[in-house]
Structure 1
Amino acid sequence: MMRLFGKYYTDLFLNKRLFIGLGLCVSLFVFSFFLSFLGDLPYFFLGALVLLVFIDLFLLYRHEKGVFLRRDVPERLSNGDDNEIKIYLENFYPFEVKVGIIDEIPFQFQKRDLWFSTTLASKTQKSITYALRPTKRGEYDFGQTRLYVQSPLRFISRRFNVGVRKLVPVYPSFLKLRQYELMAISNRLTDFGIKKMRRIGHSMEFDQVKNYVAGDDYRTVNWKATARKGDLMVNSYTDEKAQHVYCVIDKSRAMKMPFEGLSLLDYAINASLILSSVALVKEDKAGLITVAEKTGSIIQADRRPAQLNKIMEVLYKEKTRYLETDMEALYISIRATLKQRSLVVFFTNFESMSALERQLPHLKRISKFHLLLVVFFENTTLKTLSEEPAKDIEGIYIKTIAEKFAFEKKLMVKELAKHGILSLLTEPQNLTVNVVNQYLALKAQQRI
């Protein structure tokens, strides 16, 4: 009996309306000492309140499963994106209920006020949708969903604890990956800000002979086919295929800097995944190398359907390290792994010219054998400080230092170009678009 009572007691909560009623009862009893005409009114009021509470208890507990709830969480979440979570509700009570929902989301989101309130008519269903944006890869622990139900009397609430603990992995940004894949297949990458590159000349891979349309290069006119058919015909060429594209990701402490909740490493991982996807759609071969104080994961370039999943599984586990990058180890790994000339996209970060100068000899050695593209990041905070007007002496000092660091970033681009190394200086939020643009530009220029 006590166990049964404890079961219901732990899920029983008193509402504000009950406390207001009890407060009125106390007030009536106090006033009845001074106002004799109140008589037995306080006792009738208290009796009515107790009766209503018992009726409320009967209404809520007469059905074992009065409300059905199901939380739909994806099998995996996409890092840095808004992931949709759905809560499905169905009311089996013969009356309208008011429900409040507390969803026990993972502690990584640091949300303590996730409360949903709604009403649900009898025998009806309703869905509640909200979004979660994770900023770290790894496993996220979802707890139970707490459902608080009130009858039309609303003196008490009954709690339903729904669901069990569920661990959901957070992978690199695969939601944007799907969007880019669809855009690349349909040649609508410009919808993401990716430029359509003008082709310089044409590749040597012949595709077909087709009718001339306005805008075709007159140098591709096929005069023999034109003479045979009587209409102007041109040769059509396709991009060079099966080129090797390697993303090399620096995992050292330089990539730990945060921006809008994500580290630079996470931005690099998301961009690498999407670049690999676009390269595979363009029928090139995609590979991956990670490096810190020693060489990490290596995935040989391939274009099989399972290649992208293999890259994603490796990137899911990568974390920043606290030591500097061993460029000698990276050079040895590249020489041992890359058997033909490839596009090597190196995601790293330099905060000073001295940091670049330490790595420059190794970058020059890599660029002798491969087309090297060094991608590093603008410090957006310093850029904002350098653009704001100074209000005092301290502001002038801060502005000058910020401009100095911003100018050094531009000097790094020129220093790399002086040694024949391609570079891309970009803001973190524009990294993916700029990297894919650069890849398409290099293909259009037939440099890979």
Structure 2
Amino acid sequence: MAKSFKNLWDQFLFRDKGIVPTKRLLLLILALSFVLILLTWTGLSWPLIIAVNGAILLLSLVDLTFSPKRKELQIRRVMDEEMERGIENKGSVVVRNTSGKGMAMKVIDHFPQSFSQPFPLKKEIQGYEQVRITYPFHSEERGEYTLPHLHIRYRSRFGLWEKQMRVDQTESVRIIPDLTESRNFLEDAQRFLLYEGTRLKRRQVGTGEFSKIRSYVVGDDIRKINWRQTAKVQNLMTNEYEPEHGKFVTLLIDCGRMMGVELEESNRLEKSLEAAMTVATAALKRGDYVAVLAFSKHVHVYVPPAKGMAHMQTILKEIYNLKVEGYESDYTAVFQHLQKVQSRRSLLLLFSDVSTFLYEEAALHYLQRLRRSHLFLMIGIEDNVIDSETKREPEDVQTTLVKTMAQKHVLDKKQELKKWERQGLQMIEAPEEELATAAVSHYITIMNRGLL
């Protein structure tokens, strides 16, 4: 009995199939009932009032014959399988009416909570017509999501009753990191060569490692002429360079608890992923090999080094579903793992929280060993809260205490940074909106100076 009642209630709520009276029909019956009640003062009986309302309700059912049958509607969702976080995307619903009856319809898609909700979509469709209803939406969280079905409601031209149907169309959608900075680099790389007012120039002479000095022949680049050797032998000599082979770049992405700290636009992990993908774009375009290792308490993702822009898709497929973990990161474990999988000399770019990492004495021991065969650079996001507290005016005792503690934190941090720098381990911090620019700028500086 209870199950039958539940099924009936579901039909009334139209979670699957069914019909429901519209506001127009309810208002019509309400207005008619009000008039009939007033007529009771003239001697009109209540049974007659109820009978008239019932007759009107039955006549309204004729309206259902003026709307298409469910099997006469063909409906499907059209959407990209891969989209970027926070970027407006376009989705659409294609509706084909194979009947000769027009209708007004509403569409609601079963979107996850992290998606914007542009529903219901409303559209009037004529008989034998096919329309595409396009709508904008975006997602604020990365990951893989399943869209199970669409809910449709439609009514005839009289609009007294609405029919509902559910269209089962299960689709998986991947939300990847925002690649705006990566596109900006491909469109205008020079902007990333400018950081804090310093112009960084690419190497102008030579296209690889020096090989030998030989006699100049017609057609050689005059910029490669070795004037010192020319003066010695009294014959025009030129430098010859070996073709430059791709360098190795390993991007280390921290997914530990501190990377979940909220920023103005997202959190530390999101901004670090966007910056890491921008560096990957720059390195792959340059011809370098790029590897990615994401970790927290243990290694979550490892993408072996490869070159070519096609490798970017491999990286995105592996890292798009990374989440902030609820525990501290184990830097020692990740450095041990790195020693096993990365034997070639490479640039290690660690995206993490600098303040947390500074006090990892065990990590310092392993980094000293790694530094013999790798070049290390850590990149973090500036703490705006601490920075703002150090600049506040001491208006009262509490403000003064907070400012003093913030200043002490900054001084302690500078001392720890100097200790790491004395070991040849470089660390930098940048504002969240400049993190990608800073990371790419330092990467290009290292490559241009031949430090790797």
Residue 13 in 1 paired to residue 20 in 2? yes
Residue 425 in 1 paired to residue 429 in 2? yes
Deviation at 1:416, TM superposition (A): 4.2
Amino acid at match of 1:292: S
Aligned to 1:103: 109
Aligned to 1:197: 200
1:315-394 alignment runs, 5 A limit: 315-316=319-320, 318-351=322-355, 355=359, 359-383=363-387, 394=398
Residue 135 in 1 paired to residue 141 in 2? yes
Identity of aligned residues (%): 19
> How does the TM-score come out when normalised to structure 1?
0.75
Residue 159 in 1 paired to residue 161 in 2? no
Amino acid at match of 1:373: L
Q: Pick from 150, 153, 156: which aligns with 1:148?
A: 153
Deviation at 1:286, TM superposition (A): 1.1
The alignment's C-alpha RMSD in Å is: 4.5
Quote the Cα distance in structure 2 between the aligned partners of 1:429 and 1:75.
28
Aligned to 2:213: none
Aligned residues: 421
Q: Tell me the secondary structure at the aligned position of residue 173 of structure 2.
A: strand
Aligned to 1:282: 286
1:235-246 alignment runs, 5 A limit: 240-246=244-250
How has the CA–CA distance of structure 1 residues 95 and 296 changed in structure 2, closer, same or farther, with 3 Å as cutoff? closer
Deviation at 1:24, TM superposition (A): 0.8
How has the CA–CA distance of structure 1 residues 103 and 425 changed in structure 2, closer, same or farther, with 3 Å as cutoff? same
Deviation at 1:358, TM superposition (A): 6.0
Quote the Cα distance in structure 2 between the aligned partners of 1:209 and 1:34.
116
The superposition leaves residues 235-274 of structure 1 with CA deviations (integer Å, 9 ceiling, x where unpaired) of 9999943111111222333323344675433433343344
The superposition leaves residues 58-80 of structure 1 with CA deviations (integer Å, 9 ceiling, x where unpaired) of 1125x344543321132234345
CA contact (8 A) 1:210 1:235 kept: no
CA contact (8 A) 1:353 1:408 kept: no
How has the CA–CA distance of structure 1 residues 297 and 148 changed in structure 2, closer, same or farther, with 3 Å as cutoff? closer
Deviation at 1:11, TM superposition (A): 1.9
Deviation at 1:288, TM superposition (A): 2.5
How has the CA–CA distance of structure 1 residues 192 and 91 changed in structure 2, closer, same or farther, with 3 Å as cutoff? farther
Deviation at 1:56, TM superposition (A): 1.7
Amino acid at match of 2:252: V
Aligned to 2:4: none
CA contact (8 A) 2:67 2:102 kept: no
Quote the Cα distance in structure 2 between the aligned partners of 1:45 and 1:403.
82
Q: Pick from 32, 36, 45: which aligns with 2:39?
A: 32
Q: Tell me the secondary structure at the aligned position of residue 146 of structure 2.
A: strand
> How does the TM-score come out when normalised to structure 2?
0.74
Deviation at 1:384, TM superposition (A): 5.5
Segments of 5+ residues of structure 2 without an aligned counterpart are 1-6, 211-216, 228-237
Quote the Cα distance in structure 2 between the aligned partners of 1:48 and 1:190.
77
CA contact (8 A) 2:37 2:49 kept: no
CA contact (8 A) 1:378 1:409 kept: no
Quote the Cα distance in structure 2 between the aligned partners of 1:285 and 1:219.
29
Q: Tell me the secondary structure at the aligned position of residue 242 of structure 1.
A: coil
Residue 56 in 1 paired to residue 60 in 2? no
Deviation at 1:161, TM superposition (A): 1.2
Greater shift in the superposed pair: 321-330 or 99-108 = 321-330
CA contact (8 A) 1:25 1:42 kept: no
Q: Tell me the secondary structure at the aligned position of residue 34 of structure 1.
A: helix
Q: Pick from 44, 59, 76: which aligns with 2:82?
A: 76
